[in-house]
Structure 1
Amino acid sequence: MSDTSGWGPQAPYGGPQGPRGPYDGPPPGWGWNGGWAPPPPPPKPGVIPLAPLGVDHVLGGTFATMRRYAKPLFGTAAAAYGLLAAVVIAAAVLAYVSVREHFQALSETDATFSWGHGRPLLIAFGAVWLVGLLATLAVNSFIQASCAATLHEAVLGRPATFAAVWRRAWSRTPSVMGVTLLLAFILLLPMAACVLLFVSFFVTVMTQSAAPFGLVFLLLLVVTPLAAWLYVLFAFAPAVAALETAGPLAALRRSARLVRGAWWRTFGISLLAGIIVVVVSLAVRLPLQFATPAPPRVDPGTSASTVMLDQLRSQFGLYALFGLVGSFVTQLAASVFLPLVTAVLYIDQRIRKEDLARTLTEASSVQEPAP
């Protein structure tokens, strides 16, 4: 998988777009014999036409990429999630082995809690949580980079292999990870405001004063739109980091320049993609929830261990396996679908502002060298 020249910044918005190329055809509205004729369709070497895209082209190109390049896309994502599960399980096992004696001491009958035994448990499993958080961040960044790497070839109509996508995504993962971490900090703003709102509610109930709740509610009203605006403004940064080999800060600045003037369009199409993911997820999960067997009735004389065993049998059966598989499939699809939509929007903005269509058309006509 070779890098296509021209993915980097090109002509600025409003700048010269160069002379008309041979693929442009006659001027729109004129036929070769002087009569009216419709303009020729834009070239389409891959999954999207190389022209400004509508919503149907954005979503259609995304679904076409997922269908034609299912093996590199979903194979890479599944392998990454499998690696994530292995890392988290290994970290949990190591943590348990290191504090097994303290855990057994607190699990004994009539055992009382003491910091001598509790502190090692908190430290060990806090380390597991931190390892899982960092591994999840790395895996999600890797999947975003793999989606951009696959779309790079899908737009040009070239094949993409699992190994080639893996190599290219792995080389860009550190930069995409930096961008993802900065975007996560942006999302922490409304989350922190929600936590403060929850705390202020209890303060209001206890002190009979509405001032804390009112102030935090106003803060939430200000912070949430600000975080949404910043998140959309920097939405193209992962694609920039993967396709233009830019660093995290340079990718954020580049995304802001591309989104400028198209914020509402980017927000609307991204929101539509999110709604599609939610609807599909509910369509998979709701039937499984309705099919969940009701817990067995508890008799007064039944022992606690028997009650717990009956509850586990009712809640963890064949349906639970189907639910786990369904959740994994929907998560896998969402982790691929959303980054692809954003990457297609990024290409669309570059076509509109920088005449990227010309570069892609020329690149698609070049024979890809054999590996």
Structure 2
Amino acid sequence: MSETPGWSSPDQQPNQPQQPPQPPPGYYAPPPPGPQPTIKPGVIPLRPLGVGEIVDGAVTTMRKYPVLLLGAAAVVAAITQIAGLLVQLPFLDDLTSVAKLDPNTMTQQEAMDQLARGVTGFFTGTALSLLLLLVGTVFLSGFITVVVGHAVLGRPVTFSQAWEEFKPRLLPLLGATLLSGLVVTIGVILCILPGIYVGVLFSLIGPALVLERCGVGTAFTRSRVLVNGAWWRTFGILVLAAVISWVISWIISLPFGLLGAASNGFSAEPTAALSVGSLVLSTIGAIIASTITLPFSSAVNVLIYVDRRMRAEGMDIELQRAAGHGGL
């Protein structure tokens, strides 16, 4: 099985041939005088990255591997959105029963009972959709991590190759995602700021676990070590990626929302948004938006990890060797 080379952490490289001394983690050596050559075998230059280069690298990866990234994202988005919609549809009449209350055929108590069933079914569908979204997002983020690992080195990769590399990491990544989500949730409950801090601190767990092929506990440690000293920069890039994703999602979803409103005659009734036509159109918009935003966000996350390793551990030298440039 072919694996993405060059990603082992510093403590995962025993019995290696003698190498020239490497700078310690966190060491920032000044570049030699004069213009420096840019080595770019793949989607990013193999040196510490600027914010724009991280965003551009994510977009370039999507353009270079559209079938792999957009195709996988479309399947995940379609499954999660359609499953939630199918569970919710049977309960729409119950959910709108109060608005349609007819004293001649239904008492207020009967309408409230139907409303309770509708709310229960609606939230059941939402919960199912969120659960499927969690599993789908974990799969997609890990799969994209492998693809980006190849893209950084400019190496082609097929779906089967990426899946074979990622498959052993799927369950550990799911466990790490649930655990980190629990930790972040506890932090948010205690106070919002600790939740945000912990969320950023552990934001690189996925790339570390998949590319370094380490355990869950080690992935938490690796993320904390890599983000340490660069929390604000990591936070800023993640927020930027989230804003870009939100804008893209809003632009794509807006026409479908307008079409849904038009199908109901632009009714001001609150229940108009719960019509079958409106929900179907919003689901289509959500699928299209997620197909673009999920790969983008995941690719940005991986490239933040790559940038942190190049900055803190001199990983750019190892990547240049792996790309066949002899570390020049």
Q: Decide: shared fold, TM above 0.5.
A: yes
Is 1:47–1:155's contact at 8 Å kept on the other side of the alignment? yes
CA shift at 1:135, angstroms? 3.6
Matches within 5 A, 1:251-262: 251-262=219-230
1:42 and 2:35 equivalent? Answer: no
CA shift at 1:130, angstroms? 6.9
Is 2:138–2:174's contact at 8 Å kept on the other side of the alignment? yes
Is 1:142–1:170's contact at 8 Å kept on the other side of the alignment? no
1:17 and 2:22 equivalent? Answer: yes
1:364 and 2:323 equivalent? Answer: yes
- Which amino acid is 1:339 matched to? S
CA shift at 1:316, angstroms? 4.5
1:274 and 2:242 equivalent? Answer: yes
- Which amino acid is 1:335 matched to? L
Hey, what's the Cα distance between the residues in 1 that align with 2:266 and 2:123?
Answer: 37
- Which amino acid is 1:353 matched to? A
242, 248, 261: which is aligned to 2:210? 242
CA shift at 1:28, angstroms? 3.0
CA shift at 1:64, angstroms? 0.4
Hey, what's the Cα distance between the residues in 1 that align with 2:127 and 2:266?
Answer: 40
CA shift at 1:10, angstroms? 1.8
Aligned length: 291
Is 1:189–1:224's contact at 8 Å kept on the other side of the alignment? no
CA shift at 1:47, angstroms? 0.3
Equivalent residue for 1:28?
A: 32
Equivalent residue for 2:6?
A: 6
163, 169, 189: which is aligned to 1:172? 169
Hey, what's the Cα distance between the residues in 2 that align with 1:7 and 1:67?
Answer: 24
**Structure 1: segments with no counterpart, 5+ residues:** 19-26, 30-37, 97-108, 114-120, 194-222, 299-307, 367-371
- Which amino acid is 1:7 matched to? W
Q: Tell me: CA distance 1:276–1:127, structure 2 relative to 1, closer, same or farther (3 Å).
A: closer
CA shift at 1:248, angstroms? 1.7
CA shift at 1:326, angstroms? 2.1
Bigger Cα Rg: 1
**Structure 2: segments with no counterpart, 5+ residues:** 13-19, 24-30, 92-105, 111-117
Q: Tell me: CA distance 1:345–1:131, structure 2 relative to 1, closer, same or farther (3 Å).
A: same
Matches within 5 A, 1:1-371: 2-10=2-10, 16-17=21-22, 28-29=32-33, 38-84=34-80, 134-189=131-186, 192=189, 223-291=191-259, 292-293=261-262, 295=264, 315-317=275-277, 322-365=281-324
Helix, strand or coil for the counterpart of 2:262?
coil
- Which amino acid is 1:136 matched to? L
Hey, what's the Cα distance between the residues in 2 that align with 1:283 and 1:42?
Answer: 36
Q: Tell me: CA distance 1:312–1:287, structure 2 relative to 1, closer, same or farther (3 Å).
A: closer
Hey, what's the Cα distance between the residues in 2 that align with 1:123 and 1:148?
Answer: 37
Helix, strand or coil for the counterpart of 1:293?
helix
Hey, what's the Cα distance between the residues in 2 that align with 1:227 and 1:192?
Answer: 8
- Which amino acid is 2:226 matched to? L
Helix, strand or coil for the counterpart of 1:271?
helix
1:38-69 CA-to-partner distances (Å, cap 9, x unmatched) read 32322100000000100111111111001101
Equivalent residue for 1:216?
A: none
Q: Tell me: CA distance 1:82–1:278, structure 2 relative to 1, closer, same or farther (3 Å).
A: closer
Is 1:138–1:173's contact at 8 Å kept on the other side of the alignment? no
TM-score normalised to structure 1 length: 0.66
Hey, what's the Cα distance between the residues in 1 that align with 2:169 and 2:289?
Answer: 25
Is 2:72–2:140's contact at 8 Å kept on the other side of the alignment? yes
Hey, what's the Cα distance between the residues in 2 that align with 1:295 and 1:142?
Answer: 37
- Which amino acid is 1:160 matched to? V
Is 1:187–1:227's contact at 8 Å kept on the other side of the alignment? yes
Helix, strand or coil for the counterpart of 1:28?
coil
Is 1:6–1:359's contact at 8 Å kept on the other side of the alignment? yes
Report sequence identity in percent: 31
CA shift at 1:337, angstroms? 1.2
Equivalent residue for 2:101?
A: none
Superposed CA RMSD? 4.0
- Which amino acid is 1:142 matched to? F
Q: Tell me: CA distance 1:270–1:124, structure 2 relative to 1, closer, same or farther (3 Å).
A: closer
